[in-house]
Every structure is written in C-alpha cells, then in structure tokens.
Structure 1
C-alpha cells in the first residue's frame, strides 16, 4: 500500500479494527522519519490501550516522530467556544439582549462537534507542524455526517445572510441601530462562510486527504463498507484503499474452515470495491504495542 497524502482518514463501522490500522499506519510513517500525529475522534477511543501509554486531549509523544491525541466531545466544545465564542456572541447580541451563556447553549446544538472537528484537523494541516496526520474516525455514520457538515453550513449561511440583512435594515429604520453593527457582523458571517468553503474543499482534495476503508469479511461489515464507499463517491471522494481485517488464512479446525469459506464469499464481493485491497490475517494474539503494530505495518506497506 502506498499513501502519498499528508492526511489519512480511516473510515468504517465500529469494531472492524480502524484504530489498529490507524495506529500501525502512523507508526510506519514515524518509523520512516516522518513526524506524525494520530488523532482519534471515536467516542470510545483506544489509542492508550494500543500504544500502552496514556493519551488524552493534548498531543502526547508516543515514540520518536509519533504523537497522539484523543479528542472528546467536551474538549472539542471547549476549543470551539474558545475560538468562535466571542464572534457568535457578537452576532446574536446584535439582535437580542442576551448573556454570554448563550454560547454554551449553542455549543450543544447538533453538528457543532462535526463543524469544529474538521476545522481543528484542517488547522493542524495548515500549521505544517506534522508531515503526516492520521485520523482514526468515529463509526461510518458519524463520519458521513461530519463530511457533509461544511456544505450544509455554507447553505445555512447563504440563507441566513438574507435574513440578517432584513433584520438589520428593520433595526436601522425603526431603532437606528442596524448601521452600527452591520459591517462587523456581516464580516464575521463571511468569515465563517469562507472557513466552511475551505474545509469543504480540504476534505475533497485527493492530493491532500486520502481515505482508507477498513472492514471485516462478514455480512454487516461488507454491507456497511460498500454503502460507505458509495456514499463517499457520491460526495466526490474516491476510496483508493480497502483493508479487510481478520482474514483466516490457515484454518486448523472444521470451524475455521467453514468460517474461511464464508469469508472468501464476502472477499469476492469486495473485489471491486477499491483499486487496492489488503488482507490482514487473523491473529491469535491481541494487537497492542509497537512490535505487533509494526508487524501489521509490514503487511500493509511491505
């Protein structure tokens, strides 16, 4: 498997090994001298368990060239309020007499975590502190909502601008207040729109962001994977790499022989799902620690 993009997103349903494949990939990059950050936004993160080192909401050094972070919803919300809170308050207080607590209320709205998650990762990429960013995403449904959010947000801002303009014109006529705040507030709205447009372009830039689907050769895993790949394609994103995890290669009992036959059927179903497909053999041991991750990396990258 050859990956040229600076940002690599691992997608797939829960429980198929996304975190393991993400960690193995990040360690591979780091071992080859590339400063790498692995980010987990999974609601049930397990980077700490896999690396055997506490990973939290701050960038933590795992080994030479490798850093990790687990972003919780609370931390995402805190960073979102820190970055956007004052601007949001300026916009809302232009219409209503409200306390700053309104920012906390808005922070709980659906989609806020998706909005800032993408903005955060895009920001790290723009800073250029890392050669590679590996993103261990949440299960597939959440990821698709996240990727769709910038486009929806742009649509909202385009509609909202007209509403805000009418409101300001009314305030200007009736109360003489509109002209005082129109320019700065509309500047904020235009800034949000530009940010959303840049983020939408970022996630679709196949020279910068690569998508790797991870699955297992079972009915639910295969069905979800095919659906995710098609949804990404409709969104303008082509998945170039597919990893099929937990493949039985050397059955040593009747049970494993039957499972392997079942797996072969599903692997054939996935044969045209992506240009490059890598099979990861089922392991008798738990995959955790650098040695086991490097072994996975050798299968992935040769």
Structure 2
C-alpha cells in the first residue's frame, strides 16, 4: 500500500503540474492540494490550462481569465486561461501594428494565417509561460498549481517550447502559419526560460495522477516517459480513488477492489521506480470546499441524499443501437470529457450495429488513442477498426503537398513551403483532412468515431471553418470530403452525436457545455449516455452505495433537463476488453 498523499508546503515544490489520463481526478486533486496549502497560510494560485476547464465546478465559483479570489479559503486565487480569448488578443498583437502600414489584402492574409487552432495553442502557451517565468507574478505566491488538460494535450503543451523555439531558430523566410516571425522573435527568450523552469527540480514537480486501472496507468507511464525526454524528470505518481477494502459476498465491491489490486500489481516497471502516493475512493463527490478539505483527512463525510427512482425514465445501450440500426448507414460520434468511457461506448455501438448485420467502420481521432486497448485488432469484412495516426498523416500530407508543388514552384519557393510545413500547425491540418476522409466512408456503411476529449473535439469541428483556407493555401484546392464535412455533421439524417458522461458533477457540467457548443455549431446530440453507474447495480458496499445515492440527482438532471433521450450503463463486473466482452455490454 502506498503512503497517503498529504501535501504540505514543506514537501512540495513551488510549481506543481497535475497531469494524467482524462477522468483520473487531476482537477479534484489539484484543487484539494491548493486548498490544503492555502490553509497552511501560504499564498497559492491555481491555473487551468485546459481548454475545457472545470475549476469553477469544483470551487462552485465563477472563475475567469483574471485572478479570482476563492471564497472561504484565505490566500487562494484561481485563473482559467481562455485559449480563445488569448488567441484573439494574440492575433491583434501580431496584426494590429500592420493595419495602417500594409495593403488590406496583405493584412487579411495575415489574419487568415492566424485563424487556425495552432494559434489557439500558442496563445494559451504564451499565457502559461508568462505566469511561469514572470518574477512579478510568481513572487506573489508561494505555490502555483497548474491543472493541465488530459495527457495528449498536456504533452503537446509542454513540448511547445522546444517545438516553437526550434521552428523560429531554423526559419529564415519571415512567415509561418503564425504570421510574421518578427512578431514572435521576442518569444524565444520566454520559451527558453519556461523550459528551464519546467526542468528545474527545485522549482517544479510533475504529479502524474492515475486511477488504479490498467488504461490510466499505461497512460501515466507514457506521460512519464515522454516528459522525461524533454527534461521534466522530477515526477511523482498519485494513485487516486483506491478502494481500501471490499465487502465479502458483494460481487460489485469484490470485483471493484480486485481489479484495482490487479492493475497496481501489473503496472509498468517504470512507474514502480517513481515515488508513489495514494488517495482513497471516497463516498462523496469532490465539489465544494468542504469536500476538497476532507480529501486529505482520515475522516470523511457522506453527502445527504434522497432516495429516488432515477432510472425510471431512462433507456439502455441496446435501445440506442436498435434505434440507430433502423438506418442503413451514417456517421456516429461519441463525445464527452476525457475518461468517461467514450471509447467503450463507441466500440459497443459499433459491435452492436455489426451484430445487427450492418457494415461498420470504427475509428478514433484521439491523439491518446485507447481503441486498440478495448478491441485489439478485431476486424472482418463487415467490421473494420482503424486509427488516425497523427505522425503518419503529417508525413503523408507533407509528401503530397511537396510533390504537387514541384510541378509549379521554383527551388526557393519549395524551400519556403517545406519550412512552412514544419510548423506544428501542420499536424492539425493533416489530422483534420484524414477525419474528413473517414466520414466520407459513411455513404454506404456506418462510421463510428471515437473522438478526442472535449476541447480537442471542438477544435476539430471548428477546423471545418478555418482549415479549408489553410488547405487551399497549401494545396491549391479543397478536397470534396472536406467541403462536405460540416453540412454532413449538421444533418441529423446523416450524423448522430452521442454524448457520454458519468453520474457526477464535473462530467455532467462539462457535457452540458459541450452540448451548448454543439448547438452553436448547429449540431444536436441524439442521445446522452450515463456510464459506469453504481445506481444501476445492487451493491451493498457502504462506500459504493453512498456513491450510488449521490449519482441520482445527476442522472435525473441529465434525463429531465439536458437530453432528449438518455441511456444508463451499469458499472461492469468485468473489464470491457475484447470483442466478445464488448458484445455482452450491448445485451
């Protein structure tokens, strides 16, 4: 058994980064740590760098782009970095000085170059780096805690200093997808200082948060490896949500406990070398200051709940599959906060449709791809599984663009184009085009897409409006699959969106915000799925039973206020891994 995580100002560094697979409890443990350090009398700032932040849900207080004082916690302030707002400010900073000096078409082209998701990434990083490296800001606080996005986004965010510094160092032509490089030259020093701060073991600790399950531990191991490679070697492993004991004769309790024990026993060897701590599985949801303060204490509290028949008006996963199966083809996308089970639900829908006799192609656009873990390499002529591999797509895209350009562009022009394609923005463009090509397959079969966590998903959908300009600029044409994509996604006869959530506050709030964003894009979800519900089991374990009672208000909120159609999936006694196991879930 690992030591219980009890952070104090004496045993943690000034800067703490909480990272890990979506849904492992990064935000809750980061917020609880912030409260604990502030309660010691330390000045603490917690910053979310996640485009889909939920600090406000845990603190039950609106948190904006400026520092917000958290009520009832002396010395604690919070910031939600808004990537979109940062991108708008960044665009204006780059373009503004040229508005009266350059012709209108040139300024318009600069704005167009700055319209991609790459600009959102670099703008958010500018804000992050300015906090980390500005003595005026850091001197205010004894500790700065960064609640980062799910692992795939975090890795990219933390690799940006190296990526962008290298790009700027090697570039000679003065322009890129980020606009004039002269406007970015001043950032070189900022990025170098950010890298030094991240790599300084006296200043920075990377807290790898994981649930005691195989998928989350593998993700933590991947993060540990890749972050060590870029200099973040001061790492700490935090196992969150470990059930301390099980109830004899309770199948749910026993299975839950044994699966956790087995996962910990077989964790990757590298993780075993990292200093590790543990937090127990608690019988309450981590929202509100009282709950956050209780997390690090031996005593716990049970939320007051009212027994209700929360499952009276909901359906099962089988109902979703039967309804979708009435069509002959179409696009089905599962969306939601990281860690809610999008991959499992997407796999189950695909398997269920295949069992009904339909031809199905199942794929993922998630950089932190978990589809292979759930289904392996299962495929036949009517059921195929694939992954959009960002690295492979980038290489194919660059090769295609350069090959075509050689027909009409001179040597200097090719050198400029090759340099432009070395921008980190190219990955987003290439992945987006591959996504459009996959959707095109839905003409005569079902295409089920396991999408990335919320922030990445929305960037992907928004790309339909911005990347077609970039594609046209790079290739001189817009592929038919790209031009048809957004109309196809908005057409309810062709596309069904299934929002996946857990019966907990943060995932439900996040799913609600996702639905609002989809509505602005003209997309209405067909179903909500509430996954991993203890309410739908007959457990007598006091901890799990208390959790099941706290679920009821969230299931009712989803079914009555947010969703046209709702399905609930019980917590499963066995891990849903492999085609046959996924097929059982559909029954």
Smaller-chain TM-score bracket: 0.7 to 0.9
CA contact (8 A) 1:80 1:116 kept: yes
Report the secondary structure of 1:225's partner residue. helix
TM-score by length of 1: 0.80
In the aligned structure 2, how far is the partner of 1:55 from the partner of 1:163? 41
Matches within 5 A, 1:135-154: 135-154=146-165
**2:270 aligned with 1:260, yes or no?**
no
| Bigger mean CA deviation after superposition, 197-206 or 78-87 | 78-87
Alignment equivalent of 1:122, drawn from 126, 129, 133: 129
**2:88 aligned with 1:78, yes or no?**
yes
| Bigger mean CA deviation after superposition, 111-120 or 64-73 | 111-120
| CA 1:77–1:188: 2 relative to 1, 3 Å | closer
In the aligned structure 2, how far is the partner of 1:151 from the partner of 1:205? 16
**2:66 aligned with 1:21, yes or no?**
no
In the aligned structure 2, how far is the partner of 1:239 from the partner of 1:113? 28
CA contact (8 A) 1:6 1:208 kept: yes
- Which structure's relative contact order is higher, taking Cα pairs within 8 Å and 6+ residues apart? 1
Alignment equivalent of 1:248, drawn from 238, 243, 247: 243
Report the secondary structure of 2:77's partner residue. strand
CA contact (8 A) 2:25 2:240 kept: yes
Residue 200 of structure 1 corresponds to which residue in structure 2?
195
Long gaps (5+) in structure 1? 166-184
| Bigger mean CA deviation after superposition, 252-261 or 222-231 | 252-261
Report the secondary structure of 1:67's partner residue. strand
Report the secondary structure of 1:250's partner residue. coil
In the aligned structure 1, how far is the partner of 2:192 from the partner of 2:39? 35
- Once the two structures are TM-superposed, the CA of residue 86 in structure 1 deviates from its matched residue by 4.6
Matches within 5 A, 1:196-235: 196-235=191-230
In the aligned structure 2, how far is the partner of 1:138 from the partner of 1:186? 28
**2:142 aligned with 1:113, yes or no?**
no
**1:140-172 deviations in Å (ceiling 9; x for gaps):** 001111111111111111222x3349xxxxxxx
- Once the two structures are TM-superposed, the CA of residue 98 in structure 1 deviates from its matched residue by 4.9
CA contact (8 A) 2:83 2:124 kept: no
| CA 1:148–1:226: 2 relative to 1, 3 Å | same
Residue 275 of structure 1 corresponds to which residue in structure 2?
274
- Once the two structures are TM-superposed, the CA of residue 42 in structure 1 deviates from its matched residue by 2.1
In the aligned structure 2, how far is the partner of 1:52 from the partner of 1:41? 18
CA contact (8 A) 2:82 2:124 kept: no
| CA 1:209–1:226: 2 relative to 1, 3 Å | same
Instruction: Give RMSD over aligned pairs.
Output: 2.7
Long gaps (5+) in structure 2? 1-6, 299-587
Report the secondary structure of 1:111's partner residue. helix
In the aligned structure 2, how far is the partner of 1:143 from the partner of 1:41? 9
In the aligned structure 1, how far is the partner of 2:240 from the partner of 2:128? 27
| Bigger mean CA deviation after superposition, 265-274 or 241-250 | 265-274
Residue-pair matches, total: 275
- Once the two structures are TM-superposed, the CA of residue 201 in structure 1 deviates from its matched residue by 2.1
- Once the two structures are TM-superposed, the CA of residue 293 in structure 1 deviates from its matched residue by 1.0
| CA 1:85–1:256: 2 relative to 1, 3 Å | farther
Matches within 5 A, 1:30-45: 30-45=38-53
| Bigger mean CA deviation after superposition, 214-223 or 1-10 | 1-10
Between Structure 1 and Structure 2, the one with more helix by share is 1
